[in-house]
Structure 1
Amino acid sequence: MQTALIILGSTFTLFSFLPLISSPLWWIRIMDFPRLHVAVLLGIVLAAYVATYGVDGTGDTIMVLVWGIAILNELRYIINFTPFMKVEALRTEQPKPNNAFTLMISNVRMANKKYDKFLERVKEANPEMIIMNEPDQEWHDHVCKVLDEHYPYSIKKPLDNTYGMLFWSKNKIHDSEIRYLVEDGIPSFYMVVELPSGDKFCLFTVHPQPPRLMLNTETREAELLIVAKQAKKVPYPAVVAGDLNDVAWSKTTKLFKEISGLIDPRVGRGFYNTYNAHIPVFRYPLDHVFYDPAFRLVNLRRLDKFGSDHFPILITLNYEPQRELEQEHPRADLEDKHEANELIQEGLEKGEERNHEKQNGHAHQ
């Protein structure tokens, strides 16, 4: 029993410190996700060890101390997403926000066939805009007729590779583009959205590749940081939304915020975990909305599941540029900019390599 606890404690300690290595290797970056789980499990192991065997001698003291540091290391990442911390994104003070819009983000899961359940969530929420990640042609065909009736503006790119994307809007859109920033077959959308007041903002929708077995994260980092740089330079306030396949507390997300200058409404409020809807014990915030401080938060909530492995998330923002300076503005220093440029270059090279492999694969078929 003692040996088992020592092995478990050492393993969870390794999981805690492993992500400190700046590497895109999938088995390192995947450890960015379960910060809370590792902290809780290591805390249980530590408590069980001390309660059962005590702290006897220098070796035990050092071991227990290292375990405690590992727990604190995990907590320092996730503490910002609890009500114990100051909120980053301020709420509107207008009783009836008059320049607002509601956006629904949903990874529908391509294999999920509960189209009507999804449409029920849309009807209940009644958002001005909808972002769908992972739709294939079958998803497109089942929801298109209903949504086209209520949403006159749209951008559509259904794909059968789990990276399809669909967008609908009641608000007028301009200058819309389907972009392939790093890899062929992984689109992102860009558009200028016009509010009923005539005010405009730039919307980016993204869904980069996640870290998974034998698939490293160079292209994910590159895509997110390219969008971050673009969001900083656009002529109107920016909003970036979608399934980023990264957690809110990762180093990449922190760098994304610093490069883009966008804020996160979850800081000081909660995790708003969207994945995995099927496994309550293992859930992470993968679906994100970051926005310019010219907006104020009206509402943020997670919607009920509908068959996908992701919960939809719903956010309402009010455009209040006159109060922009009252909110925090993340800023990048020279070191951040240098790091971002290096990660972008590395990701673009990896993207070219993967594109070449796909082209060769099609040529041999």
Structure 2
Amino acid sequence: MKSALIIFGFIFTLFSILPFIKSPLWWIRVLDFPRLHVAVFLTIILVTYILSFGLGGTTEKVMLVVWFLAIVNEIRYVFWFTPVARVEGLRTEQKHPANAFTIMIANVRMVNKQHQKFKELVLLENPDMLIMNEPDEAWHESVRKEFDAHFPYSIKKPLDNTYGMLFWSKFKLHDSEVRFLVEDDIPSFYTVIELPNGKKFDLFTVHPQPPRLMLNTETREAELLMVARQAKKTNYPSIVAGDLNDVAWSSTTKLFKKISGMLDPRVGRGFYNTYNALVPFFRYPLDHVFYDPEFRLLSLRRLSKFGSDHFPIAISLNYEPLNGDEQEAPKADCEDKEEAKELIQEGLEKGEERNQEKKENGEQKAEKKPAH
């Protein structure tokens, strides 16, 4: 048992240390996700070791101190997403918010067939705007009739590669674009939302690739940071929303916030884990909404399951441009901007490689296709 505890203690300590390496390698970046889980498991190992074998000699004490420091390292990341920490996005103080709206974000999971359950949830929640990630044409056809009637305005790009995107709105849209920022088959949306009183703001919706086996994160970092720079430069206050395939406490998300100057309503409130809805213990906050200080929070809610591996999430904000200075937004220094520039360049280069590979693979498949 002692040897097993030492081995597992070493492994989880390594899990805590490896993310310090600034690398897009998937097996490093995926360790940004389970910070809380690593802290919990390592705490259990530490306590079990001390209760079973005591503090031991000098070597063992050093080992236990290292384990303890690894636990502290993990906790310092997730601490900010607990109610103990100071909130970042302030709530509105208006009793009757005049410019309030609700955005619902849902990764529907392309292979999920519970279309009717999702439609019922959306119509029950009745958001002003709806962002759907992962819809293919089957999903589009199943919800199109009801949602087109409910939401007069929309942007649509259903795809069968799990990166399709649909957006519906009760409010007018201007200058809408479907953008392919890094990879030719992974879209993002940009539009200008006009509120009923004529006030406008920018909305960016994103769904970059996640870190997974043999797939590194260069393109994810590039897409998020490109959107961050675009949001910072627009003429209107901005909101960025969608499935970012990254956790709220990662170095990439922190850099995104600094470059964009946006707030995260989760800070000081909770994790609001949205993935994996099918696995109760292993859940992470992957679906996000970031916004400029000109907005104030009314509510943030994780909604009920509907068959996807993601929980949907709904946020209600109020547009209060006169109170923007009262919220402290993250700021980027020269080092942050240089890091973002380098990551964007690396991601664009990797995106070009992947685009070329996909084209070549497509051509090869076409050549192998039998003639009729």
1:119-155 per-residue CA deviation (whole Å, 9 max, x = no partner) reads 1110121000000000000000000000000101000
Equivalent runs, 1:152-163 vs 2, <5 Å: 152-163=152-163
**Equivalents in 2 of 1:329, 1:11: separation in Å?**
37
Match in the other structure for 1:47: 47
**Equivalents in 2 of 1:162, 1:256: separation in Å?**
24
Could you tell me how far 1:93 is from its partner in structure 2? 0.7
Match in the other structure for 1:135: 135
Match in the other structure for 1:63: 63
**Equivalents in 1 of 2:165, 2:123: separation in Å?**
20
**Equivalents in 2 of 1:266, 1:225: separation in Å?**
20
Match in the other structure for 2:318: 318
Equivalent runs, 1:1-365 vs 2, <5 Å: 1-365=1-365
**Equivalents in 2 of 1:306, 1:320: separation in Å?**
33
**Equivalents in 1 of 2:204, 2:113: separation in Å?**
27
**Equivalents in 1 of 2:111, 2:329: separation in Å?**
39
**Equivalents in 2 of 1:154, 1:56: separation in Å?**
65
Could you tell me how far 1:260 is from its partner in structure 2? 0.2
Could you tell me how far 1:98 is from its partner in structure 2? 1.1
Could you tell me how far 1:363 is from its partner in structure 2? 1.3
Amino acid corresponding to residue 21 of structure 2 in structure 1: I
1:315-344 per-residue CA deviation (whole Å, 9 max, x = no partner) reads 000000111000011100000000000000
**Equivalents in 2 of 1:356, 1:242: separation in Å?**
27
**Equivalents in 2 of 1:197, 1:86: separation in Å?**
33
Could you tell me how far 1:94 is from its partner in structure 2? 1.0
Q: TM-score, normalised by structure 2?
A: 0.98
Could you tell me how far 1:252 is from its partner in structure 2? 0.1
- Aligned-pair RMSD on alpha carbons? 0.4
Amino acid corresponding to residue 185 of structure 1 in structure 2: D
Q: TM-score, normalised by structure 1?
A: 1.00
1:232-257 per-residue CA deviation (whole Å, 9 max, x = no partner) reads 00110000000000000000000000
**Equivalents in 1 of 2:362, 2:32: separation in Å?**
34
- Regions of 4+ moved over 6 Å: none
Aligned residue pairs: how many? 365
Identity of aligned residues (%): 70
Could you tell me how far 1:178 is from its partner in structure 2? 0.1
**Equivalents in 2 of 1:235, 1:100: separation in Å?**
20
1:214-272 per-residue CA deviation (whole Å, 9 max, x = no partner) reads 00000000000000000000110000000000000000000000000000000000000
Could you tell me how far 1:74 is from its partner in structure 2? 0.2
1:173-192 per-residue CA deviation (whole Å, 9 max, x = no partner) reads 00000000000100000000
Could you tell me how far 1:162 is from its partner in structure 2? 0.1
**Equivalents in 2 of 1:47, 1:239: separation in Å?**
44
Could you tell me how far 1:356 is from its partner in structure 2? 0.3
Amino acid corresponding to residue 106 of structure 2 in structure 1: S
**Equivalents in 1 of 2:34, 2:267: separation in Å?**
18
**Equivalents in 1 of 2:154, 2:214: separation in Å?**
35
**Equivalents in 2 of 1:275, 1:16: separation in Å?**
21
Could you tell me how far 1:364 is from its partner in structure 2? 1.4
**Equivalents in 2 of 1:158, 1:177: separation in Å?**
14
Amino acid corresponding to residue 302 of structure 1 in structure 2: R
Unpaired segments ≥5 residues, structure 1: none
Amino acid corresponding to residue 93 of structure 2 in structure 1: E
Amino acid corresponding to residue 283 of structure 2 in structure 1: R
Amino acid corresponding to residue 155 of structure 1 in structure 2: I
**Equivalents in 2 of 1:310, 1:121: separation in Å?**
14
Amino acid corresponding to residue 226 of structure 1 in structure 2: M
Could you tell me how far 1:362 is from its partner in structure 2? 1.1
Amino acid corresponding to residue 189 of structure 2 in structure 1: F
